[in-house]
C-alpha cells in the first residue's frame, strides 16, 4: 500500500499555510520589522530620522523597504511643501493591525532568551 496520506491536504490547512506565506512574504527581509516598529513608536518620521533610528541600515535598503511597505499599504508617505522639501513616513491604520503580531514575536523572543540563559 502506497502512502499518499495528506494531513495538510485539508482546505483549512491549505488556507492557513497560504496565509502564513503571504504574511511572511509581505514582512520579508532584514529590516521590515525594524522600520514598522520604529514608525509605530515614533509616529511620523522623515527619511533621515529613520536612518538615524535604525542602526546599520543603508539608504538603498531603507528606500526599497519603505516602497514595499507603501505598496502594501502598511506605511504612508507624504511629501510636505516645506522650505527644504521633507517627507513624512507614518504607519497606516492597516499597518497598525500588525501590532499584536509584532508583540507575539517580541514576547516569544524574550522568553526564548530567558529559557536559554536563566
Partner DNA sequence: GGAAGTGCTTTCCTGTAGGAAACTACCTTA
Partner DNA sequence: TAAGGTAGTTTCCTACAGGAAAGCACTTCC
Q: Rule CB under 7 A: which residues touch DNA?
A: 2-3, 28-31, 46-49, 56-61, 63-64, 66-67, 77, 83-87
Q: How far is CA 34 from CA 18, 63, 71, 106, in A?
A: 24, 14, 17, 12
- Give whichever of 2 and 117 is closer to DNA, judged by the CB atom: 2
Residue 58: name its binding partner from DNA, a copy of itself, none (Cβ under 5 to 8 Å by kind).
Answer: DNA
**CA nearest neighbour of 114 among 31, 30, 100, 106:** 106
**CA nearest neighbour of 69 among 44, 35, 43, 40:** 35
Q: Does 95 bind a copy of itself (CB under 8 A)?
A: no
Q: Tell me phi and psi for residue 30, to 5 degrees.
A: -80, -20
Determine contact, residues 53/45, Cβ cutoff 8 Å: yes
Give the residue, chosen from 71, 80, 96, 101, that forms a contact with a copy of itself under the rule CB under 8 A.
Answer: 101
Contact positions toward a copy of itself, by CB under 8 A? 3-8, 13, 15-24, 26, 33-34, 37-38, 41-42, 48-49, 52-55, 94, 97-98, 100-102, 104-113, 115
Amino acid at each position: 500500500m502506497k502512502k499518499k496520506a495528506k494531513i495538510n491536504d485539508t482546505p483549512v490547512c491549505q488556507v492557513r499555510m497560504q496565509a502564513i506565506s503571504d504574511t511572511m512574504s509581505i514582512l520579508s527581509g532584514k529590516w521590515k520589522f525594524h522600520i514598522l516598529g520604529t514608525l509605530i513608536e515614533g509616529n511620523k518620521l522623515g527619511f533621515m530620522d529613520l536612518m538615524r533610528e535604525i542602526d546599520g541600515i543603508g539608504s538603498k535598503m531603507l528606500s526599497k523597504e519603505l516602497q514595499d511597505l507603501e505598496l502594501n499599504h502598511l506605511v504612508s508617505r507624504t511629501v510636505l511643501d516645506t522650505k527644504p522639501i521633507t517627507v513624512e513616513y507614518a504607519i497606516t491604520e492597516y499597518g497598525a493591525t500588525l501590532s499584536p503580531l509584532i508583540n507575539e514575536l517580541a514576547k516569544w523572543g524574550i522568553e526564548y532568551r530567558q529559557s536559554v540563559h536563566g
